[in-house]
A and B are shown apart, each in its own frame.
Chain A
């Protein structure tokens, strides 16, 4: 690949850079008029965040200390929901199922996304076509994806037979067997998301200057060494972004489990968001559902902080 093919130099991606305008806004580098205009322009976003994110979150936090069935007024019960939650086998089952889904999805999907990005980073005939094909599922609505995969997973006559029948594997009870149901959802998750993360990795790869690779080759570095010593370190900000976003999305995965298995069989795919939904809208236990949601938030926050510590770019 020639140097001209590459765009931009190595450095943190735009979203990790400190916005200059924000520094100047309060540092006196702008006029009062510009400052007011800036505040005016961000106000809708701040209001949106406050009304649709912050207020619901604070409300959920408050409701987690109450017993509320949506009909009568919330009744303060202190830590009772949390105490019950940690004794609830359904909660622990859902926590395990969520961990299985999250790691079962991310462990194969992220390396696969990176691998595909590296393949498409090369000069390849029909690269745009492959990129489009791989990215297409990412723009499909989750419910549409579920409908497609319902047809794929039909035990008799399902499209999956195209791939498994030559090996004698037929009548696989994908969605009706406790052992198959979660792998089935993970496959759906990989299919839907791999193209999305591939595109992000691809953008990161194209931000690495080829001069690094040329210099490494001159010094006798092999492909693996180039990957380990150049690609991985320089891709760390992108990896951090992908890891945080993908884990958050996987942890909150709801639609596939709701539409394909309903959390079954025997709670084998009942992820935490589904447990929250069930308690909130089928049982109208808003306080208990809020307590689960708060715990989910804290776990995600902790995992994100760990990711920030382990994947942050070395200065």
Chain B
């Protein structure tokens, strides 16, 4: 290389570095000046469509503030949010996540309390009064409200009426207890010549580590216990009631064999139910619209499937699991006020609430919401609302992610390994106690 060409090379490199530095400064300044709210949420199609097509463009038009919305697979979203918020950068201004994240986010000062003024309320009391009584209790820490509900779901059950008829069961009388569900499950389960299950009578959803708390994990509160003790300082299930709940889970896979793993290439509740790989499945109010959009032949109106209340144990405690998803605002956001304004835009106006209710079947617990015509017009809404009244929250701990990972492992040991609860439960209890004591 000649002397001249080396000089040219160095000049070129210096120019490129200068341009890169200048452009990064320019971009950062540009973001702050143009006021863009960064919003991350999960990839539920109805939610994504509402935000992208209605809420973000509407807010831009009304407030002149851009919303940069990204959606992620549910199982990957939480690590992304944690890393983005924790890792030195700004991360998203706004997230919509399961409310079980609240304890961790608040403990680590990653989110800020709700700004009632920005949301158009005189004060916090006025905001709380606009919701159903106690609807926001689970979102308060030390007298401060940290989240606004996007959906206050609970878990009920869907079942395939066509399979009920095929199995000689009355499709209008689905099982009310876990005991009678076994009888139906045995008739609904289909096996091939080798005896392997090709259609499960009962589907336990286990899509993400959190799913375990919502679905089979509901068996614990129905036995009067839960994953954590009431004070949250140790496990709450290493006892006879907890063992009975785990035993039921074990029996569905290994004794009665009405539940099965691996029927689908992906574990998707929508696909499992819509494609007929499971006959009964516990799920939330949100599932029917997205399932019917993908599988139009599986129609509630045409009587292909039905909705029933979550079965209970004959001598147990009446309960289901609450499954609320909430909006929270980053403590690092430079647009906190504007972001709470956007949340208000998305949920405060009756027009917005109507959109969420009709298009995504998200129930936002504003006062009187359950009696709105758009909700009462949904034929199965009553069933979900009845279960909502008996809901118990997911465990609240700053160690939620680790707890969920250990619970998922216990589920795998029971369902995939066929290990008995006597072996699995003490191990899980030890792990839970250890992580709570750290």
Complex CA distance for A171 and B196, rounded to whole angstroms: 7
Contact residue among B86, B87, B261, B265 (Cβ-Cβ distance under 8 Å from A173): B261
Contact residue among A153, A170, A178 (Cβ-Cβ distance under 8 Å from B416): A178
Q: Does B405 contact A (CB under 8 A)?
A: yes
Q: Does B35 contact A (CB under 8 A)?
A: no
Among A70, A173, A174, A265, chain B packs the most CB atoms within 10 A around the CB of: A265
**Structural contact, A150 and B265, CB atoms closer than 8 A:** yes
Q: Does A121 contact B (CB under 8 A)?
A: no
**Structural contact, B198 and A171, CB atoms closer than 8 A:** yes
Residue of A nearest to B1 (CB): A37
Complex CA distance for A278 and B261, rounded to whole angstroms: 24
Complex CA distance for A177 and B78, rounded to whole angstroms: 27
Q: Does A266 contact B (CB under 8 A)?
A: yes
**CB of B104 to closest CB in A, whole Å:** 9
Contact residue among A170, A171, A267, A282 (Cβ-Cβ distance under 8 Å from B79): A282
**Structural contact, B402 and A155, CB atoms closer than 8 A:** no
**Structural contact, A282 and B78, CB atoms closer than 8 A:** yes
Interface residues of B in 251-267 (CB under 8 A from A): 261-266
Complex CA distance for A176 and B420, rounded to whole angstroms: 18
Q: Does A21 contact B (CB under 8 A)?
A: no
Complex CA distance for A267 and B83, rounded to whole angstroms: 23
Q: Are A70 and B83 also in contact (CB < 8 A) when A156-B263, A176-B262 are?
A: yes
Q: Does B409 contact A (CB under 8 A)?
A: yes
Contact residue among B75, B194, B264, B409 (Cβ-Cβ distance under 8 Å from A171): B194
Q: Are A265 and B412 also in contact (CB < 8 A) when A150-B265, A170-B194 are?
A: yes
> Interface size class for chain A?
20 to 34
**CB of A93 to closest CB in B, whole Å:** 10
**CB of B327 to closest CB in A, whole Å:** 21
Q: Does B417 contact A (CB under 8 A)?
A: yes
Q: Which residues of A contact B79 (CB under 8 A)?
A: 281-282
Q: Which residues of B contact A151 (CB under 8 A)?
A: 265
Number of residues on chain B facing chain A (CB within 8 A): 34
**Structural contact, A40 and B6, CB atoms closer than 8 A:** yes
Residue of A nearest to B9 (CB): A40
**Structural contact, A284 and B417, CB atoms closer than 8 A:** no
**Structural contact, A71 and B110, CB atoms closer than 8 A:** yes
**CB of B426 to closest CB in A, whole Å:** 13
Complex CA distance for A175 and B263, rounded to whole angstroms: 11
Q: Which residues of B contact A170 (CB under 8 A)?
A: 192, 194, 196
**CB of B204 to closest CB in A, whole Å:** 13
Contact residue among B401, B402, B408 (Cβ-Cβ distance under 8 Å from A264): B408
Contact residue among A40, A150, A265 (Cβ-Cβ distance under 8 Å from B417): A265
Q: Which residues of B contact A174 (CB under 8 A)?
A: 262
Complex CA distance for A171 and B265, rounded to whole angstroms: 12
Q: Which residues of B contact A265 (CB under 8 A)?
A: 261, 412, 415-417
Q: Are A283 and B402 also in contact (CB < 8 A) when A69-B108, A264-B412 are?
A: yes
Q: Are A173 and B262 also in contact (CB < 8 A) when A70-B86, A265-B416 are?
A: yes
Q: Does B82 contact A (CB under 8 A)?
A: yes
Other A-B pairs beyond A262-B75, A265-B261, A266-B417, 12, CB < 8 Å: A156-B198, A156-B263, A171-B196, A176-B261, A178-B417, A264-B412, A264-B416, A265-B416, A266-B409, A282-B79, A283-B401, A283-B405
Report 12 cross-chain contacts, Cβ distance below 8 Å, ordered by A residue.
A69-B86, A70-B87, A71-B109, A154-B265, A156-B198, A170-B192, A173-B261, A173-B262, A177-B416, A264-B408, A282-B82, A283-B402
Closest 9 CB pairs of A and B: A176-B262, A70-B86, A266-B412, A265-B416, A176-B261, A265-B412, A171-B196, A173-B262, A281-B79
